[in-house]
Amino acid sequence: MSVIDHENYFTSLPRDYYLDEGRFADELTRVWNTQWVYAGHVSQIPRRGDYFTFNIGSESILVVRDEDAIRGVHNVCRHRGLQLCDQPTGKLPRRIVCPYHSWSYGLDGKLLKATRQADGEFFDYRDFGLFTVHVDVWHGFIFVSLADEAPAPVASMIDEKATADMALLDPTRLKIAHEITYYADANWKLLLENGVECYHCPSVHPEFCVSLDAQEMSDYYEDDYVGDLVQGLVIPVKRELESLSMTGNYVSKKLLGEFGRGAAVPDDFGAGFMTQPGYAWGGFHPDYGMVASTLPISPTRSKMICWWFVHEDAEEGIDYDVDELVKLWDITNIQDLHIQERQQRGLSSQRYLPGPNSPSQEPGIRAALRKYLEMMGEAN
Ligand code: FES
Ligand SMILES: [Fe+2]
C-alpha cells in the first residue's frame, strides 16, 4: 500500500512530502523534468525568431518560432554556460548569439560558429549544439517536456469531446488580453490537490459558484477524471448562463470560433485541458478562456502564471474590459492561494496527520497523487 492508501479510506500525503528539500529536488527530476508542462500559446511568438523564456524549477527554457516549427532549447550556452536570453520575450535575428564570446546557434539549437575555433579543429560542432527539449503544440497551446524521451503526444491523451469542443473555438486565433503571476508560500502539490476537487468550492468561492455548476464540477472529478499526464477538462457553467464570469454573462463580445459565426452553444459544451501531477489547467467558454500554469519554486513556495485569452480581433475597451474579463478568476485564484498558504502553515505542525478524503468529492486527489507516487517510484 502507498502512503495515501488506508484500509477504508485514502488521504493526502504525510507532512514531509510538503516540506522536505531532498524530496523537492527529486520531484524536479522525476516529475517536473519528465511530464508535459504548459508553457505558452502560439500567439505569443507569431513570427520567425520570436521567443519567450519559461522557467521550470532551476531550468530556463527558450521557446522559439523557427521557419517550420516551434522549438525548445535549454537557455544555456555550450561554451561556458551563459544564459543566452535574459528577457521574458523578444525577437532573435536568424541566429542565437551568445553575448559573452559570440558563439552562434541556429534557431534549432545547432552550433553554427564557435568564434575563432573552426569546426573540427579541436572539436566537432555537432557535439555542442544547444540541448533541445520536446515541444508539442496542441490546438495552439505549447507544451514542453525536459525528459530524455518525450511522453506520449498531448493529443493522444485528450479525449475526443474536449478536442472537438476546443476545435469549435479556433484556438490558434486567440490573443492574450492579460497575464498575472501569483506567488504562494505553499508546496506545489497543494495547488494540485486543490485544483482537482470542488469539495471546497461552496465554502471558499461564493463568487465562482454564481456561474460555476459546482455539482457538475464535482461529478466531473468523480466520473471523468483520469490519472493521465494530460487530459481534457470541462469547467461547467450553469445551463441558463452564458459564461464563467461574475454575472454569468459574456465578458467579451467577440465570440470565439464557430460561436462568432452564429453557431448555437451546445448544452454540454466544455473546452479545456489539464496537466498533472505538475498542474496546469485551461478552461474555455464561448467568449474567453483562461490558462493557469502552476510551477515549483521551493518546497514551500510556488508560482502560478495565468493568461486570459480572447478572440484575436477583439478590441480592448470595445469588445471587452480587462477588469471585467479577469475579475472572477482573479478573485478565485487569490482565494485558493490564501487557503493553500494557510494549509501549508497548518500542516507544518508536528500535529498534522493526513485525514480521510471523501471518495465522492475528492477522488481527483487520489488519481493525481497515485500518478505522482508512480513517477516518484513509490506507488507499490
Ligand atoms: S559562454 Fe557563450 S560564447 Fe562563451
Ligand atoms: Fe478553488
Are both 273 and 128 inside the same structural domain?
A: no
Residue labelled with grid coordinates 531532498: 22
Same domain, 71 and 180: no
Query: Could you tell me if 16 and 74 lie in one domain?
Result: no
Whether the pLDDT of residue 76 is over 90: the answer is yes
Three-state DSSP at 112 gives strand
What's the gap in Å between 114 CA and the centre of ligand 1? 9
Q: What pLDDT is recorded for position 268?
A: 86
What is the span of the domain harbouring residue 28? 10-32+154-375
Which of 275, 276, 301 lies closest to 370 in space, CA to CA? 276
Residue 192 counted as domain residue = yes
My answer on whether 195 and 331 are in the same domain is yes
Q: How far is the CA of 332 from the centre of ligand 2 (A)?
A: 6
Alpha-carbon distance 253 to 174, whole Å? Answer: 14
Q: Same domain, yes or no, for 52 and 140?
A: yes
Mean pLDDT for the chain?
96
Claim to verify: residue 204 and residue 353 sit in the same structural domain: yes
pLDDT at 183: 98
- pLDDT > 90 in the chain, percent: 94
| Contact between 144 and 132 (Cβ < 8 Å) | no
For residues 116 and 209, membership in a common domain is answered with no
Domain contains 186: yes
Q: Which of 135, 150, 165 is the last residue of a domain?
A: 150
Question: What number of CA atoms fall less than 13 Å from residue 310's CA on the CB side?
Answer: 21
Judgement on whether residues 191 and 75 belong to the same structural domain of the protein: no
Number of the ligand 1 atom closest to the C-alpha atom of 80: 1
Q: What is the mean pLDDT of residues 87-113?
A: 97
- Mean pLDDT confidence for 79-93: 97
Q: Is 99 within the bounds of a domain?
A: yes
CATH value at residue 120: 2.102.10.10
From 150, 167, 183, the end of a domain falls on: 150
Residues 86 and 158 in one domain: no
If asked whether residues 309 and 177 sit together in one domain, one would say: yes
Residue that is last in its domain, among 112, 132, 150: 150
Compute the CA torsion angle 269, 272, 273, 279 (nearest 10 deg): -130
- The reported pLDDT for the residue numbered 219 is 86
Confidence of residue 330 (pLDDT cuts 50, 70, 90): very high
Q: How far apart are the CA of 204 and the centre of ligand 2, in A?
A: 7
- Residue 366 is part of a domain; what is its CATH number? 3.90.380.10
Answer whether residue 380 shows pLDDT above 80: no
Q: Check residue 207 and give its pLDDT.
A: 97
What pLDDT, on a 0 to 100 scale, did the predictor assign at position 270? 86
Scored b (16 or more CB within 10 A) or e, 341-352 reads bebbeebeeeee
Total tally of structural domains belonging to the chain:
2
Q: Which atom of ligand 1 has the smallest separation from the CA of 98?
A: 2
**Ligand 1: lining residues by beta carbon, under 6 Å:** 77, 79-80, 82, 98, 100-101, 103
The string of pLDDT tens digits covering residues 172-223 is 999 999 999 999 999 999 999 999 999 999 999 999 999 999 888 888 888 8
Share of the chain above pLDDT 70, in %: 100
Does 82 map to a domain? yes
Indicate whether 236 and 274 sit together in one domain.
yes
The reply to whether 15 and 103 lie within a common domain is: no
**How big is the CA angle at 204 (ends 12 and 276), to the nearest 5 degrees?**
40
Q: Mean pLDDT across the stretch 301-326?
A: 98
- Please report the pLDDT score of residue 280 as a whole number: 98
